[in-house]
Amino acid sequence: MGYSKSRIGTASFMTVALAVGAAGGVQANSEEAGEFLIGLEQFSTMDANNLEDNYDIEVLQEFEHIHVLHAELTEEEYEALLDEENIAFVERDHTVTHYQQEVPWGIDRISAPAVHANGHTGTGVDVAVLDTGIHEAHPDLEVVGGESFVNEDPLVDTNGHGTHVAGTIAALDNDEGVLGVSPDVNLHAVKVLAANGSGSLSGIIDGIDWSVDNNMDVINMSLGSPQGSEAMELAVDHAERSGVVVVAAAGNEGTGWGGGSTVGFPAAFDSVLAVGATDANDQRASFSSVGNELDVMAPGANIYSTYPTNSYDSLDGTSMAAPHVAGLAALLVAQNPTASPEEIKSTIVDTANSIGDPFEYGAGIINPEAALGE
Over its length of 374 residues, how does the chain's per-residue pLDDT go in tens digits? 343 333 222 222 222 222 223 333 333 444 567 999 999 998 888 889 988 888 888 999 999 999 999 999 998 899 999 999 999 999 999 888 876 433 336 888 888 989 999 999 999 999 999 999 999 999 999 999 999 999 888 889 999 999 999 999 999 998 889 999 999 999 999 999 999 999 999 999 999 999 999 999 999 999 999 989 999 999 999 999 999 999 999 999 999 877 899 999 999 999 999 999 999 999 999 999 999 999 999 999 999 999 998 899 999 999 999 999 999 999 999 999 999 999 999 999 999 999 999 999 999 999 999 999 98
Integer Cα distance of 165 and 108 in angstroms: 17
The question of whether 138 is a catalytic residue gets the answer: no
Helix (H, G, I), strand (E, B) or coil at 142: coil
Segments making up each domain of the chain, as ranges: 34-93, 97-371
- Are the C-beta atoms of residues 130 and 208 closer than 8 Å to each other? yes
Angle, CA of 146, 151 and 153, to the nearest 5° = 45
Q: Which listed residue (93, 116, 120, 131) is catalytic?
A: 131
Given this model, what pLDDT does residue 155 score? 86
The question of whether 98 is a catalytic residue gets the answer: no
Q: Which listed residue (116, 161, 164, 238) is catalytic?
A: 161
Q: Residue 215's CB: how many other CB atoms inside 10 A?
A: 11
* Entry pTM: 0.84
Same fold, 34-93 and 97-371: no
Q: Which listed residue (70, 238, 319, 324) is catalytic?
A: 319
Given this model, what pLDDT does residue 44 score? 83
The question of whether 319 is a catalytic residue gets the answer: yes
Is the domain 34-93 a CATH 3.30.70.80 member? Answer: yes
Integer Cα distance of 45 and 47 in angstroms: 6
Which letter does DSSP use for residue 288 in this model? Answer: -
- We find that the CATH architecture of domain 97-371 is 3-Layer(aba) Sandwich (3.40)
Helix (H, G, I), strand (E, B) or coil at 343: helix
Quick check: bond before 341 cis, omega within 30? Answer: no
